[in-house]
Amino acid sequence: MTRGSVRYDDLSLVTMAKSALNYLRGNPEPARNYECKFSLGPLGIPAHVPLLPPNTDGFDPIALGDTDCRMDWQYPHMRAMAGERVPDNVELGVRRRVHSYQHADGLLWMTPAAWGGTLQAPSVLEGLKHKWASSWASGKWLISLTEEYDRTGDKRFAEEARAVFLALAKLLYWDGKRAYLPYGTAPWRNGEWLHMRDSDKSSGWGGEHSHNYPFIVEPMVRYWECCGDDEALQLARAIADGHLDCVQPEMDELRIDPQTGRFARHVHLHTHEIWGVAHLGVVTGEARYMDWAGRAYRFVVSQGTDYGWYPEYIPQPEYRSEICVVGDMTSIAACLARGGQPEHWDQVERNVRNILRHSQFSLTPAFVALFRKIHHGRPQAEVEQALAELRKLEGGFVAQPAFDEWVGFPGPNMGAPGLYANGIQMMGCCPPEGMRGLWEAWQGIVQERTEGVFVNLAFSREHAAANVTAYEPAAGRLDVQARRAGSYFLRPPTWAEPATVTLCRDDADSRIEWGGPANAYVVCRAVRSGEQLRLGWPVPRFTQVFVPQSVPGRSEKLTVHWLGNKVLGVEPRGQYLPMFEDGR
Ligand SMILES: [Zn+2]
């Protein structure tokens, strides 16, 4: 689509959300009571092979209390973006499943495969015979209930949310006025924690996660934000103060250095909690929370790229990302932006425009060609059937892309079934977290504040306060149709030289007045409803060369070709299914 000689932006968040709904509805298995799939490897036949052995509670037991809880959040978000008002049976089924984990004590209980690791340690094997309460799953359920109250105004959801909040509060330990969970995300049962020593390598990721940060501040802040329970805000402060003052024991190198933001190991277990502290900074206006979150955020950026690729581990044996981290980093960037640092909206745009857009899974001609090639020895009907099944996963996200490549795990057995063996890792935690990144961007485009209507991002959206039309990144142009009278604040990219920014009001050149947080906005006063505002800026085309961090001992340079916030190409180029094809 074009307007004059300038083309509209071909990125549509609405289209991405509609595609995401296809995945959210295609992943759960109705015949297994809407159990969700974690272990997805789309180049394999079949694409779904459980990483851990099935047990009495689940066929792919890692999904329980993790993948399903994450997906439960995103159905309503993606429907809101796509303009669908009514939940379908799959959404209702997943909601019922997650609700069924809740016991009378308010907490969610399940077989803790998601926290158990690879099941080798005797203590883990014994523990997995029981159901355990999960603060991780319960915190996610607290947000689900809270947002359901926010959407419907039905007080029963607020009351149920308070019960979960009180149950979570009982799990906390205290150090003076600071609160903490002693073993991070470790499950709890009858006063015991299923924690594993990291030195016991056979305990896998469970050993590490039970000494990492919990996921607790964001649920408390979000619950307070929607339900107004001041006890939750006080508790969020107490927990965040514990993080800032390092009261959780036995964290060792997993601890975030309060001075530098540096930490080691699994990144998502850190960024998921940093997000909550950043959010707490926004709602309280307290700089120390923003500063702590900002330092850790910048450390993660320093270990990744500027276009939204962040490492799964620091350090790690090869360059692998995790879309869960991209979702978290997008949420943290949005919080920092809302908290008075609007330049971070540019990073929100870069994450969505580059990584999330190009890792959203679909049966592209290149994927189908590769699929047929590696399965050329199989009967054609079997290959066609497998491709038809894969349609259900379209709209999910490739979980571990390399810098410019869907195939993060190439090898001689590419196409063999298995989460890693097939070549494209698509673990179920990641697709809904990628969707959270889309949701953050969608909510950030137009922001209504007491000073007026803010347009923060160059993405198209029809909003009650403004119709925003984005143009292709090369155009350096954003059109805003005001839908009410008052002041409008339009943000050009941070890198745009202020003297070169232009404003037209109803096609007439207008004087530029800067204002808003950090003086980052072009202010339009006394705007009429229906008035057309047009913001313009010159767009730089440049090349960035750097040595990616996160893999010790490797020093190969990465070259990124940029057009404003858009990546045109990356070198070395992906070998099998490159992500950036727009030319160099
Ligand atoms: Zn993930």
Ligand 1 centroid to Cα of residue 432, in Å, is 9
Whole-angstrom Cα distance, residue 452 to residue 454? 6
Residue 315 preceded by cis peptide, ω within 30:
yes
Ligand 1 centroid to Cα of residue 303, in Å, is 18
Ligand 1 centroid to Cα of residue 268, in Å, is 8
pLDDT of residue 120: 62
Ligand 1 centroid to Cα of residue 3, in Å, is 39
Whole-angstrom Cα distance, residue 21 to residue 15? 10
The model's pTM is: 0.97
CB atoms within 10 A of CB 515: 15
pLDDT of residue 570: 96
Ligand 1 centroid to Cα of residue 38, in Å, is 9
Ligand 1 centroid to Cα of residue 424, in Å, is 13
Ligand 1 centroid to Cα of residue 324, in Å, is 4
pLDDT of residue 117: 72
Nearest alpha carbon to residue 138 among 177, 101, 190: 101
Ligand 1 centroid to Cα of residue 355, in Å, is 14
Whole-angstrom Cα distance, residue 128 to residue 148? 32
Ligand 1 centroid to Cα of residue 322, in Å, is 5
State whether residue 584 is helix, strand or coil: coil
Residue 249 preceded by cis peptide, ω within 30:
no
Ligand 1 centroid to Cα of residue 526, in Å, is 46
Ligand 1 centroid to Cα of residue 66, in Å, is 10
Ligand 1 centroid to Cα of residue 153, in Å, is 32
Q: Rounded to a whole number, what is the distance in angstroms from the first to the last CA of the chain?
A: 24
- Within 8 A by CB and 6+ apart from 508, the residues are none
CB atoms within 10 A of CB 333: 30
Write out pLDDT tens, residues 16-31.
999 999 999 999 999 9
Ligand 1 centroid to Cα of residue 326, in Å, is 9
Ligand 1 centroid to Cα of residue 429, in Å, is 4
Whole-angstrom Cα distance, residue 411 to residue 28? 29
pLDDT of residue 6: 84
Residue 137, CA atoms < 13 Å, CB-side half-sphere: 33
Ligand 1 centroid to Cα of residue 117, in Å, is 15
Ligand 1 centroid to Cα of residue 363, in Å, is 21
Ligand 1 centroid to Cα of residue 418, in Å, is 16
Ligand 1 centroid to Cα of residue 452, in Å, is 37
pLDDT average per 10 residues of sequence, the chain (584 residues): 76 98 98 98 98 91 97 98 98 98 98 77 73 97 98 98 98 98 93 73 72 97 98 98 97 96 97 98 98 98 98 96 98 98 98 98 97 97 98 98 96 93 97 98 98 98 98 97 98 97 97 98 98 98 97 96 97 96 58
Q: Are 569 and 582 in contact (CB under 8 A)?
A: yes
Ligand 1 centroid to Cα of residue 514, in Å, is 40
pLDDT of residue 208: 83
Residue 198, CA atoms < 13 Å, CB-side half-sphere: 14
pLDDT of residue 124: 67
Ligand 1 centroid to Cα of residue 408, in Å, is 14
Phi, psi of 98 (to 5 degrees): -65, -40
- Residue recorded with tokens 């802040």: 221
- Residue recorded with tokens 């009858």: 190
pLDDT of residue 206: 76
Ligand 1 centroid to Cα of residue 70, in Å, is 10
pLDDT of residue 210: 87
Ligand 1 centroid to Cα of residue 67, in Å, is 9
